[in-house]
């Protein structure tokens, strides 16, 4: 299943996009892609035992994409202050979205703190892997797949989820995220 994502700035957005404009757009797109891929896993007959498990999978997809944003900003030689500002704002925007969705599902609580801790931890882990846009990045894809496998469990139904992530979902999410990033940076 493919998801359609708007990847051009609206005419109402000022000519000089701010770091907040960019971070907000990337966070929203990341959330949409993560949600789509979590739904796709269910559609491929992988099994979630709870909403907590589904949210954990979404967090893993989001962490992966936030790290991709950092890698792309770094490889485009953006100034460090711009890159750090965008990354902090992506984290803030995506944490707000996660907080709101978790409150809707589970009630009041502090979901933001755990989400931010996971983002920071995964960013550190993903930094150990090579990544080149447009190429096969199996090592980083396998790490994402392992984290999702851990979140979903290794029941008979879910034992092939890593293959699904490495061969299909990570490739698609990476391709779409890089494509949208490139379009928004124009």
- Domain boundaries of the chain, sorted by first residue: 19-185
What's the N-to-C CA distance of the chain in angstroms? 27
pLDDT computed for residue 1 by the predictor: 46
Would you say 62 and 109 are in contact if contact means Cβ atoms under 8 Å apart? no
Would you say 111 and 102 are in contact if contact means Cβ atoms under 8 Å apart? yes
Mean pLDDT by runs of 10 across the 186 residues of the chain is 56 71 93 95 93 96 96 89 95 97 96 97 96 87 96 89 95 92 86
pLDDT computed for residue 164 by the predictor: 95
């Amino acid at each position: 299943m493919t998801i359609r994502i708007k990847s051009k700035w609206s005419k109402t957005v000022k000519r000089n996009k701010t770091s907040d404009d960019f971070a907000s757009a990337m966070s929203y797109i990341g959330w949409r892609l993560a949600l789509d891929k979590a739904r796709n896993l269910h559609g491929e007959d992988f099994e979630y035992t709870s909403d907590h498990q589904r949210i954990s999978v979404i967090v893993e997809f989001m962490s992966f994409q936030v790290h991709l944003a950092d890698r792309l900003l770094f490889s485009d030689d953006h100034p460090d202050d711009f890159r750090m500002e965008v990354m902090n704002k992506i984290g803030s925007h995506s944490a707000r979205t996660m907080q709101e969705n978790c409150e809707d599902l589970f009630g009041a609580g502090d979901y933001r703190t755990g989400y931010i801790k996971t983002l920071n931890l995964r960013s550190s882990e993903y930094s150990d892997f090579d990544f080149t846009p447009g190429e096969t990045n199996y090592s980083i894809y396998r790490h994402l797949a392992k984290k999702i496998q851990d979140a979903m469990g290794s029941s008979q139904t879910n034992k092939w989820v890593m293959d699904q992530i490495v061969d299909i979902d990570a490739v698609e999410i990476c391709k779409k995220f890089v494509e949208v990033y490139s379009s928004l940076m124009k």
